[in-house]
Structure 1
Amino acid sequence: MTERPPSAEPAVTRRPVSGTENRTASRHWWDADADSYQEAHGSFLGDVDLVWCPEGLREADARLLGDVKGTRVLELGCGAAAGSRWLDGQGADVTALDLSSGMLRQARLAAERSGVHVPLVQADALALPFRSGTFDTAHTAFGAVPFITDTEALMREVARVLRPGGRWVFSVTHPMRWIFLDDPGEGGLTAVHSYFDRSPYVEQDEHGVATYVEQHRTLGDRIRELVGAGFRLLDLVEPEWPAGHEGIWGQWSPLRGRLFPGTAIFVAEKPAD
């Protein structure tokens, strides 16, 4: 769940980026932003909980992963790994992975606070350091998927490490949100961009080097990526903004949330045959 803090006024553009430039920007961004991100959102996410989105949908209620007791679970883009610690309490054998050393440092601090320790791995989601068929389930809440150029390759890599019958669940910003400005107020209610423009959102420094990159895909793109990697789509969840939730998270707000979806959660399965 991404919020770009206004600590500086970056040059903002929409342009193609290479996989290397994207990866470098993402790692440096999250290393630098890990502390402020956790300070801003740690109380909402918890130390031992799996919250799928700013709308506040929790795995304890949604059960999108199914029964995980006795299964092996991989969390990609785990951040502070609150979701992995919660799944550990549900009886899963959990591994939490992130590209950012800064976020994994926050995961270790949260483990100390909560007393729940899970294995942490620093690695690129496009080159998972696991044997094929290692896990029963893979998941991420706004991790990895929005920050990778070649998400077709990501889907194939996730499929590789899953066993037949394994489940892959990930949440991202709802693709229709890319039509609007990242404004939680009235300014965020007017369509200004083409839904079909897949150019990534890029913040860059004075030298034109990307410092933050976020990718856009349409709903159809995501489904084709999944199917192309051999997955079967089980569900597409679009959480509604709950009554009484008055929090604002970046461009997520009660005003916008009551009018159109802010999050898309894809639930897919690697066929058993």
Structure 2
Amino acid sequence: MDIRTYNREAWDRAVAEGDRWTIPVSREAIARAREGDWHIILTPRKPVPRSWFPVELEGLDVLCLASGGGQQAPILAAAGATVTVFDNSPAQLGQDRLVAEREGLSIRTVEGDMRDLSALADASFDLIFHPVSNCFVENVRPVWRECARVLRAGGTMLAGLANPVGFCFDVDQEKKGELVIRYGIPYSDKTSLTDQERRRYTDKGEALQFGHTLEDQIGGQIDAGFSLIGYYDDLASEGELVAKYMPTFFATRARKNA
């Protein structure tokens, strides 16, 4: 299975079905952002602290990586940043263009694989905004290396990440209200499941996911040339049993070393 192609089609389908992560931001939110009143998320619930962003966004070159959907990029553009959105899904990028046209914003959109940013020049961004999305690729370390390449020295990368523990539990048992450890980490919808188990996602055309180790998610950033300067935990959406016991997402703020 070609995961990139499969997940691209899955996210295009999610746009058509109105998934929550594909619904464009409102006119009211854009108007507030133009006045300096805005917030965006890297993880399902908790807004990113404003202290993680430069005080002034005007003229800042921002890459919204695997961040299509017409949500974060338009807010940052309305707040003054020069924004490029890079995403695997043409339909998700279409949501950003929709908001840009509706609101008179300038947003560049680029389709591609987050592990290969060759369409983008070296040292061309001041800030990378990367919400929870690298759980949709099999290997996350190339993502960090490419981020380091396109980010200017001293630039910042903000990343939302899935806690790999959330991938360990038996889905069928969780639906019955029990948490039963079944899968190891790293986890893969492609190889950790039987063909029959995988059909719970593929029959509905849902994207396939991967639970990366903390060594790859955090250590991978450090190995790529970043220093971690911020961190917070977050919970999954309501209704997920494991979220009653532990944070299921986290966010990191990292600075590219000179």
C-alpha displacement of 1:157: 0.7
8 A Cα contact 2:15 2:22, kept in partner: no
Distance 1:171 1:107 in 2: 20
RCO higher in structure (CA 8 A, sep ≥6): 1
Q: Deviations over 1:101-142 (max 9, x none)?
A: 111122222334444341111122222111110001111112
Structure 1 length as normaliser, TM-score?
0.74
C-alpha displacement of 1:163: 0.6
Distance 1:186 1:94 in 2: 40
Point out where structure 1 has 5 or more consecutive residues left out of the alignment. 1-16, 242-248
Assess, with a 3 A threshold, how the Cα gap between structure 1 residues 58 and 193 changes in structure 2: closer, same or farther: same
Q: CA RMSD in A?
A: 3.1
C-alpha displacement of 1:80: 1.4
C-alpha displacement of 1:200: 0.7
Aligned partner of 2:189 in structure 1 is: 201
Distance 1:198 1:173 in 2: 12
C-alpha displacement of 1:190: 1.0
Q: 1:169 aligns with which of 158, 179, 183?
A: 158
8 A Cα contact 1:35 1:106, kept in partner: no
Q: Secondary structure of 1:95's partner?
A: strand
Distance 2:220 2:87 in 1: 22
Pairwise mapping of residues 150-189 of structure 1 onto structure 2 (< 5 A)? 150-181=139-170, 187=176
8 A Cα contact 1:188 1:256, kept in partner: no
Assess, with a 3 A threshold, how the Cα gap between structure 1 residues 229 and 178 changes in structure 2: closer, same or farther: same
Distance 1:97 1:222 in 2: 20
Q: 1:260 aligns with which of 243, 246, 252?
A: 246
Pairwise mapping of residues 104-143 of structure 1 onto structure 2 (< 5 A)? 104-128=93-117, 129-143=119-133
1:65 matches 2:53: yes
Structure 2 length as normaliser, TM-score?
0.78
Distance 1:150 1:172 in 2: 14
Point out where structure 2 has 5 or more consecutive residues left out of the alignment. 31-38, 191-197
Q: Which amino acid aligns with 2:185?
A: D
